[in-house]
Amino acid sequence: MKKLRGFVTGAGAVICILMLAGTSAEARQAQRRVGGKPDLNGIWQSMNSAAWNIEDHQGEMGVAPGLSVVEGGQIPYRPEALAKKQENFANRATADPTEANCYLPGVPRITYMPFPFKITHTPTAIALSYEWTHALRTVVMDGSPHPETPEENWMGISRGRWEGDTLVVDVRNFNDQTWFDHAGNHHSEQLRVTERYTMTGPDSIQYEATIEDPKVFTRPWKMSMPLYRRKEPNARLLEYECAYYLQEKIYKDAPFF
């Protein structure tokens, strides 16, 4: 009996050791926290073709096919706004503020541009820096409201808060010049974007963006997608400048527009 008890005790110890050994560095990283919240620090990137079209789209020369990232599959446009979207699509080669003219992509489009971005997360502040033309967003986390009479801008003004382990960013005060994608999906200056960043593993974030704009859409709608950690040993943001003259030549010479 003593031998059996000793065997069981020893086996339990071995199992515990094996379980601890099986706790990988990735699992431990998933448990890391900053100021009691999940550690979002790192370089992240989407792996889809939403920058070209956030709805279902076929492939064409230079553009990969893709499934919709829009909840329900279709954007609820008002009739006059849908007509504007169709006009944008027809003229996208020269009218796209970002791909054709090198203006800032706005939010949420900059999140799913085909470039990585970096989240810098401290207990009191969060910043997002993007490889695309060195764009930068600061998420104010002090509970202060949005300015009552701010100037409209390309990237909006971001105010953040935590809902449990989800970072929620309320972005307002946009101009009406950015698009959601190269397909001409657009908004007005009344745009409000509520972003949600939820870690689903050590190297993945579930990203959601709720879009509100009563001037353009019949109701609020949502897009969502996973973001993945760049894990190369030397992963970092590289230098990228959008050269307008080069973009203009690319689209002028492209045979597929």
pLDDT more than 90, % of the chain: 69
Spell out the SS3 assignment of 167-229: EEEEEECECCCCECCCCCCECCCCCEEEEEEEEEECCEEEEEEEEECCCCECCCEEEEEEEEE
The DSSP line for 31-56 is T-EETTEE---EEEEE-SSTTT-SS-
List CB contacts of 216: < 8 A, sequence separation 6 or more. 77, 78, 81, 186, 187, 188, 190, 191
Q: In the predicted model, what is the mean pLDDT of residues 195-208?
A: 97
Q: What is the pLDDT of residues 88-136, one digit of tens each?
A: 999 999 999 998 899 999 999 999 999 999 999 998 889 999 999 999 9
| pLDDT band of 246, cuts 50, 70, 90 | very low
Whether the CB-CB separation of 211 and 223 falls below 8 Å is answered with yes
Q: What is the pLDDT of residues 152-182, one digit of tens each?
A: 899 999 999 999 999 999 999 999 999 999 9
Q: What is the overall mean pLDDT for the chain?
A: 86
* Closest to 196 in 3D by CA, of 178, 185, 208, 179: 208
Domain range 40-253, CATH architecture:
Beta Barrel (2.40)
Q: In the predicted model, what is the mean pLDDT of residues 71-94?
A: 97
Q: In the predicted model, what is the mean pLDDT of residues 79-85?
A: 98
Give the pLDDT score at 94: 93
Q: Which DSSP state fits 146?
A: P
Q: Cβ of 93: how many Cβ atoms within 10 Å?
A: 16
**CA pair distance 218, 85, nearest whole angstrom:** 15
**Where is pLDDT greater, at 118 or 150?**
118
In this prediction the pTM is 0.83
**CA pair distance 203, 27, nearest whole angstrom:** 10
Give the pLDDT score at 29: 52
| pLDDT band of 149, cuts 50, 70, 90 | confident
Cβ-based burial of 190 (10 A; exposed 0-12, middle 13-18, buried ≥19): middle
Give the pLDDT score at 147: 84
* Closest to 230 in 3D by CA, of 131, 124, 110, 104: 131
Q: In the predicted model, what is the mean pLDDT of residues 223-231?
A: 97
Give the pLDDT score at 174: 95
| pLDDT band of 35, cuts 50, 70, 90 | confident
Give the pLDDT score at 251: 45
| pLDDT band of 148, cuts 50, 70, 90 | confident
Total H helices, total E strands in the chain:
5, 11
Domain segments of the chain: what residues?
1-31, 40-253
**Where is pLDDT greater, at 92 or 64?**
92
Give the pLDDT score at 20: 45
Assign 138 to helix, strand or coil: strand
Q: In the predicted model, what is the mean pLDDT of residues 80-86?
A: 98
List CB contacts of 244: < 8 A, sequence separation 6 or more. 101, 102
Q: In the predicted model, what is the mean pLDDT of residues 69-82?
A: 97
